[in-house]
């Protein structure tokens, strides 16, 4: 084939030079990841403090699962329509509107703690109401922001941009939980929520700095019904992409232990809210190390097998975490799980961006959000229910074992995923 291209499993491969800092040289993309970084720190501080306060009020692991359900229901319910909006509307405006709602949610949590006697009088339900509103806002933010991020850079930079976006998110996910736990443990929830609200406002301001002009491809989409279905048809028509999303969905749904970390911190490891913040940060520490390394190395030559190994390693770490009674061993296992998860995120996200046409990106991102984003929240609910019925430790260990079964099943049923080579070289054959 001319031009140095070669055919691989129904796709055309095109060689792309590797520059580890290419995406960071784009000014608008730098504003984009600064906004992402500050918002993630804010949301992670919020997650630590809200989870500890709800558990402190209820003393019930199921209440932690209900946090995930409160966010997942509006997230899943609105995601397909949110993807349609992201492809039809100005993606910057949609993102700014969603970020504004999240600023309001941060302020609401602060008000709950400023009003004397509010928590004692109302219990946990106001928290769930605000979490519901934030889930709705995130359902619109996710596809609009992801689609806009893909427009800010050239297609050849997608893999590099995903690596740096992941390291940005994960570094914030290290700082946020640790800061949230320390502020709450050594000061108060009020101070933590002040930091949360300020950082969320900064994220909104940074996003305003992005110079963005919508592309003409956003205009003609047909009826809303056809538009909503098109993202689903595309994902279910790409067996490798569907397999990658399914792997992530079930590994997090079955093997996630994050929702139960307050129980481990309080009753099993006995490290308090300060230790909870460190536990929540541990996976992100591992992910930061992995993402910086991945940004500086060429893409995987055998991406499919690497994805299967990474998800399998994640599941083994979760099993080990459930068994561990040592704080240091638990931290190490969580950190390694973060490394493995980051490899999975990089491969899946690059695959999604490389294979998705620009005019479908919002809708395909919304389908991705249903698979990936909601799996964290539904997984939290599943973890809470399982912990209630089986006990905290047994539920985590069995969940990790179930995740291993999913890896084996998908590896066996989708041979194209096992044979997948370098993703950065692939474009859909019909687009070549």
Half-sphere exposure of 36 (CA within 13 A, CB side): 22
Averaged pLDDT, 256-280: 81
> Residue 389: how many CB atoms within 10 A of its CB?
10
Q: How confident is the model at residue 262 (pLDDT cuts 50, 70, 90)?
A: confident
HEC profile of 330-387: HHHHHHHHHHHHHHHHHHHHHHHHHHCCHHHHHHHHHHHHHHHHHHHHHHHHHHHHHH
326-350 in b/e form (b: 16+ CB < 10 A) is: ebeebbbbbbbbbbbbbbbbbbbbb
DSSP state of 302: S
pLDDT at 197 over 60: yes
Give the pLDDT confidence of 34-80 residue by residue, as tens digits.
Answer: 999 999 999 989 988 998 898 888 877 778 778 878 887 888 888 87
pLDDT at 136 over 50: yes
Residue given tokens 């609910």 in the structure block: 381
Which architecture, in CATH terms, is 19-431?
A: Up-down Bundle (1.20)
**What does residue 297 show for φ and ψ, rounded to 5 degrees?**
-115, 155
pLDDT at 103 over 60: yes
Give the residue extent of every domain in the chain. Answer: 19-431
Half-sphere exposure of 228 (CA within 13 A, CB side): 9
Give the pLDDT confidence of 365-419 residue by residue, as tens digits.
Answer: 777 777 666 666 666 677 777 777 787 788 888 888 888 888 888 888 878 777 7
pLDDT at 129 over 90: yes
Q: How confident is the model at residue 5 (pLDDT cuts 50, 70, 90)?
A: very low
Residues 6+ apart with CB under 8 A from 122: none
d(CA 263, CA 52): 9
432 neighbors 12 (Cβ within 8 angstroms)? yes
Residue given tokens 């179930």 in the structure block: 402
DSSP state of 23: G
pTM score of the predicted model = 0.68
d(CA 104, CA 119): 19
Q: Which two tokens stand for residue 295?
A: 């940004």
d(CA 35, CA 391): 39
């Amino acid at each position: 084939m001319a031009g140095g291209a070669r055919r691989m499993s129904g796709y055309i491969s095109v060689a792309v030079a590797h520059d580890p800092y290419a995406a960071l040289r784009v000014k608008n993309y730098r504003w984009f990841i600064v906004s992402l970084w500050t918002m993630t720190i804010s949301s992670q501080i919020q997650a630590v403090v809200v989870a500890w306060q709800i558990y402190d009020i209820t003393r019930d692991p199921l209440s932690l699962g209900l946090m995930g359900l409160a966010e997942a229901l509006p997230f899943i319910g609105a995601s397909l329509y949110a993807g349609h909006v992201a492809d039809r509307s100005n993606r910057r405006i949609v993102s700014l509107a969603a970020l504004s709602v999240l600023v309001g949610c941060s302020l609401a949590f602060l008000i709950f703690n400023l009003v004397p006697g509010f928590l004692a009088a109302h219990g946990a339900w106001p928290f769930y109401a605000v979490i519901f509103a934030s889930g709705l806002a995130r359902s619109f933010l996710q596809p609009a922001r992801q689609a806009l991020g893909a427009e800010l850079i050239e297609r050849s930079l997608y893999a590099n941009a995903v690596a740096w976006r992941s390291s940005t998110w994960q570094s914030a996910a290290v700082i946020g939980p640790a800061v949230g736990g320390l502020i709450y443990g050594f000061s108060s929830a009020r101070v933590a929520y002040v930091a949360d609200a300020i950082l969320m406002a900064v994220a909104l301001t940074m996003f305003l700095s992005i110079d963005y002009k919508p592309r003409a491809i956003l205009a003609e989409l047909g009826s809303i019904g056809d538009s909503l279905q098109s993202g689903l048809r595309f994902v279910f028509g790409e067996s490798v992409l569907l397999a990658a999303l399914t792997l992530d969905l079930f590994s997090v749904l079955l093997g996630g232990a994050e929702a139960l970390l307050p129980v481990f911190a309080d009753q099993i490891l006995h490290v308090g809210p300060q230790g909870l913040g460190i536990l929540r940060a541990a996976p992100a520490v591992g992910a930061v190390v992995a993402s910086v390394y991945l940004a500086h190395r060429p893409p995987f030559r055998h991406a499919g097998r690497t994805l299967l190994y990474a998800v399998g390693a994640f599941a083994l770490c979760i099993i080990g975490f459930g068994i561990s009674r040592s704080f240091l061993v638990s931290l190490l296992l969580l950190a390694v799980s973060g490394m493995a998860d980051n490899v999975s995120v990089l491969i899946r996200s690059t695959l999604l961006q490389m294979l998705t046409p620009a005019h479908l990106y919002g809708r395909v991102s919304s389908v991705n959000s249903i698979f990936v984003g909601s799996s964290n929240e539904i997984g939290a609910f599943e973890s809470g229910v399982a912990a209630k019925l089986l006990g905290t430790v047994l539920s985590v260990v069995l969940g990790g074992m179930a995740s291993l079964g999913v890896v084996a099943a998908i590896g066996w049923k989708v041979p194209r995923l096992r044979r997948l080579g370098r993703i950065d070289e692939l474009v859909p054959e019909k687009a070549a």
